Structure 1
């Protein structure tokens, strides 16, 4: 990972923060893109103070101009993007009849449309360079639906279908895609008022465990790709 450019979209959150620190320890030049610049700058400060290299860029993932500006700044100032980590997303986990339509629309805009915009814009550059890795984190609900997760699971299954189609579209192009299905991860997502699921955070995966898995996927030999991986807390084995 020495001097490779790693763009982490959602770089201010728990998983993004852990990924940023992991890649920085590997010698990468890390770009933390986030809506919350204050939180992202705090993460970048922690990385830089420990000897790593981190930069911060504002982004609104559902706005094409913002996404295009993000990619332009990265490529002009740092060079080709070697790794894209889509670590952003939001959640509405409630019974179908309790979900407010505006909440559902916002979540689908971020999780699906935002992922499309970011991925399309970055892959356009990767395809030109004939190299790059895209790491996607649909979570376990992109593979195993659960009760009261209908719209959330729909957004995550959309990511799975999106990436599986892209792997066919970009075969032998030099652009590689990875799907990581992580079980419950201890992040602030579970504290949202729109998440009506009772959870045990102490039984979940830590962001650092996820960061290690993302780094492993991105650090495969040039001629290989980690297609898919499921990582669950012990309590969710073989779900």
Structure 2
């Protein structure tokens, strides 16, 4: 129910009255586009003991990224197309089954070649506003994929349009974007908390129930001689 409520308000907040916004491309609000690369697999010097976060598309899940499952070494960075990406970029998976998914990196990191990263120009748009918009349009972006794998590329992504409120008044535009982001972030936090917290809470309550049930239904055994104690039953 909370997810449906979140989707409803997101739809309302990202739908503008005519004249209150202008359609701009993602390229217009982007300062720089970053691509990634994959260091040669099977080379221990590229992975063992690495401390450089390296993001793969399966970790792009419409959320903030504060850590990665895999790390690479400086040698891997030097000998591959992987490159450092500044924090707070809008990351979009551009290849395969995950194409169209988005995330925000809360730490500087590197990615594989199946991720495209938009460093947003903060004078034109808020990165979280852009993130909410591309997340909202996941299916539309995914549908633009080409070839058997449905791959996206920088041209497709940067040509995708988003509504910029009060585009001719930058300060007013950023204030309105911030208002929208604040509301959507609250709903996002709530739904994430429910999705992650409720199963754990249910599990704890189930264990608590089983513990007390065992205590309450554990009685001293009857004497070994058998029979029913006097006055405790029988006809």
TM-score normalised to structure 1 length: 0.22
* Larger Rg computed on CA atoms: 2
- Give the structure, 1 or 2, with the largest relative contact order (CA under 8 Å, sep 6 or more): 2
More helix per residue: 1 or 2? Answer: 1
